[in-house]
Structure 1
């Protein structure tokens, strides 16, 4: 039986910023394969290339050389507009800063990606309400960010990321602004989105206890993948009844 093609593949990807004596090699021949439905944590010290790799995977930056294949499509050959279209259709983003509009309700914040797509009002309302409910915020649709806790604000940000039903969710230090309790709540939510909804989750983090929720942990050092290991016992499983895991 043939092995299915990966959803995402980086092939000998390099990324250089600047030129000449000031040039900085952020990625130095990265090879990485990610299958549909995986939950991958990307770790590494400052300057290791993990953030550049995430920006590349998220179509926010392009390789200097090498190939990036997304669902069979060579991304490095696409125009800026084509990459933007691919992002809107397949990717959702969650950042350390919640990036919510301050004077706008949770419902309206979540609707924004659908507004950019030109979806009709009724469709936006319904999808946003469903997304908020899926992150545990049913009944909070009309609250502004100032009326929500940090954990709730990040839940709104996650609802906004998944309202378009993306194939891949990219999370960059999603718990960086949260206390320990709220951090674990957000990680369990990301784990549920992966397990229950089949969303492929790629997460950059410097916190080992957050990475422990992933099914696979990739370490970057000096612009290359230093290690790539499965995590057979994700932390979220500690909170799931044995019958449900089975």
Structure 2
């Protein structure tokens, strides 16, 4: 099971009456409308909704890639909305990891070097970067693949490298935006099993945007957006607890 939410514990993340507007006057678009949302440490949450529902805007705000037009965003009890660009960048580097639908790997760079990048930006030593990247790749089932370039890896393996890069800094929160969107069914379940394991075994809070119900089924909680509002927020009564047999790194070639 994922880490239980402690009764009475303060949320790791809180959105209060968050709105996001683009444009003004006749061209104004309300992407988010008075959103209230609490996320506790150790949760695995699927954020769902049709195109244009506001789910990606919400994810960008949660990931400190964008700021609310109004309302409050608190991370570990600290207001995020008044932070400067540099302060938000430091928060991202310290607490957040990102996985996207596109793997966003450097094409001519080895898996090891791709995973080391966040640590390079953070100023870690070469030895510390190498050791941490090796551990992260092993954690996602890619021990022995450190020197392979993306062209030598399958789609599922490339996404594993991207996840290793996201967790190499030991983030509190992993934000995954359509992480299986470019994968076939078997590789999608493989990646979901990996995310589930990171949540269960390392206690990483996982926030995942997806439009695929069978991928959302791995989450313990589902938040559905419609027209910039949260339409439903409910516990998944029967979460998937393991990837199907055969969805393993060893078969991903």
What range is the shorter-chain TM-score in? over 0.9
How many Å separate the matches in 2 of 1:92 and 1:6?
A: 18
1:103 matched to which residue of 2?
108
**Superposition TM-score, scaled by structure 2 size:** 0.93
1:176 aligned counterpart, secondary structure: coil
Q: Does 1:220 align with 2:225?
A: yes
When you count helix as a share of all residues, which structure comes out higher?
Answer: 1
1:236 aligned counterpart, secondary structure: coil
State the Cα distance separating 1:232 from its structure 2 match: 2.7
How many Å separate the matches in 2 of 1:161 and 1:37?
A: 17
How many Å separate the matches in 2 of 1:105 and 1:234?
A: 35
How many Å separate the matches in 1 of 2:133 and 2:88?
A: 25
How many Å separate the matches in 1 of 2:62 and 2:44?
A: 14
Q: Which runs of 4+ in 1 moved over 6 A?
A: none
Q: Identify unmatched segments of 5+ residues in structure 2.
A: 1-5, 246-253
1:38 matched to which residue of 2?
43
State the Cα distance separating 1:4 from its structure 2 match: 1.0
How many Å separate the matches in 2 of 1:233 and 1:94?
A: 25
C-alpha distance after superposition, 1:98-148 (max 9, x if no partner): 000000000000000000001000000000000000000000000000000
How many Å separate the matches in 2 of 1:21 and 1:81?
A: 33
C-alpha distance after superposition, 1:141-160 (max 9, x if no partner): 00000000000000000000
The 1:107–1:149 alpha-carbon spacing in structure 2 relative to 1, beyond 3 Å, is: same
How many Å separate the matches in 1 of 2:174 and 2:125?
A: 24
State the Cα distance separating 1:77 from its structure 2 match: 1.4
How many Å separate the matches in 2 of 1:158 and 1:151?
A: 11
1:54 matched to which residue of 2?
59
1:235 aligned counterpart, secondary structure: coil
Alignment root-mean-square deviation, CA: 1.3
2:20 aligned counterpart, secondary structure: strand
**Aligned counterpart for 1:149 among listed residues 127, 146, 154:** 154
Q: Does 1:163 align with 2:190?
A: no
**Superposition TM-score, scaled by structure 1 size:** 0.96
State the Cα distance separating 1:206 from its structure 2 match: 0.2
- Size of the alignment, in residue pairs? 240
Q: Identify unmatched segments of 5+ residues in structure 1.
A: 241-246
2:81 aligned counterpart, secondary structure: helix
State the Cα distance separating 1:86 from its structure 2 match: 0.3
1:76 aligned counterpart, secondary structure: coil
C-alpha distance after superposition, 1:39-69 (max 9, x if no partner): 0000000110000000000000000000000
State the Cα distance separating 1:237 from its structure 2 match: 4.4
How many Å separate the matches in 2 of 1:36 and 1:9?
A: 11
**Aligned counterpart for 2:143 among listed residues 134, 138, 143:** 138
Query: Does structure 1 retain, via aligned residues, the 8 Å contact 2:47–2:208?
Result: yes
